[in-house]
Amino acid sequence: MTDDDLGAAVALPARPARVVSLVPSITESIALTCADVLVAATDWCTHPAGLDVVRMRGTKNPDCRAIIDLAPDLVVANMEENREIDVRRLRGAGVPVWVTRIETLDEAFTSLRRLFTLALQVEIPPWLLEAEAIWTAPATPTTARVGVAIWRDPWMVVGSSTFTGDLVSRLGVVNAFADHPDRYPAVSLGELQDETDLVLLPDEPYVFTADDGPEALPRVRTELVSGRDLTWYGPSLVEARGRLTTAIAGAFRT
């Protein structure tokens, strides 16, 4: 028995040979590290390109019956992205489920190390070591207040105690809504513009585009960015810091 990130004991074989991932960023992490064990993933698991595994619907509505029928050695889930009821259903059917908990960059690195070494029983992948080194380097702090929009109608932003909020703060800027009591608060357009110097508009979960988002925020700088760079914890972290830093710097030059 080995405990997952939430302290639940998970019975594992010598080395899992059939793994189902219900978390897009973890699917990519496994596929680029030990692809031979990955047998199924969600419809939202879009990386790496050309991933050829069985699909099990979405993160919030996985096909538990189909997963059980696959007889996996391990299912990997996440406390925020997946539902507790689905985890209970799978465990009730005798399927081992490893649940990750990731609300900061440091937790991401620790959680992924545990997943690979304890659950999947493989060596720490080079991309993870590289990502840790990249994000360990301190950024030059600024007073720039940045909001991260994740939805519109209603407008919602990244608030407190989130992976994305912590990641943004590690870029040397201030998450404008870091002190909000909600993790993903709804805000008015006035509040969003008054409280920020820059609003980042990612392409997920809401698909902001040049024609859908910036026009609603005429009083503040906006920048379209990759949602994967902001919200995925996996191999994308190797390049995310550089891309986001460049995007933010470019926004303030205009």
Is residue 100 within 8 A of residue 78, CB to CB? The reply is: yes
- Cα separation, 164 vs 240, in Å, equals 12
Whether the link from the prior residue into 205 is cis, omega within 30° of 0, is: yes
Could you tell me the pLDDT band of residue 114, with boundaries at 50, 70 and 90?
Answer: very high
Mean pLDDT of the region 51-67: 97
The pTM assigned to this predicted structure is 0.94
Q: Which residue has the tokens 């912590």?
A: 166
- Cα separation, 78 vs 122, in Å, equals 20
- Cα separation, 225 vs 247, in Å, equals 7
| Domains along the chain with CATH numbers | 2-124 (3.40.50.1980), 145-253 (3.40.50.1980)
Q: Which of 168, 170, 228, 166 is nearest to 198 (CA)?
A: 168
Neighbours of 182 (CB within 10 A): 13
Whether the link from the prior residue into 154 is cis, omega within 30° of 0, is: yes
Mean pLDDT of the region 88-103: 98
* pLDDT at 1 exceeding the cut of 90: no
DSSP single-letter state for residue 141 = P
- The predicted-structure confidence for 164-184, as pLDDT tens digits, reads as follows 999 999 999 999 999 999 999
Got the DSSP string for 111-149? HHHHIIIIIS--PPPHHHHHHHHHHHSPPPP---EEEEE
Predicted local distance difference test score (pLDDT) of residue 253: 87
Could you tell me the pLDDT band of residue 117, with boundaries at 50, 70 and 90?
Answer: very high
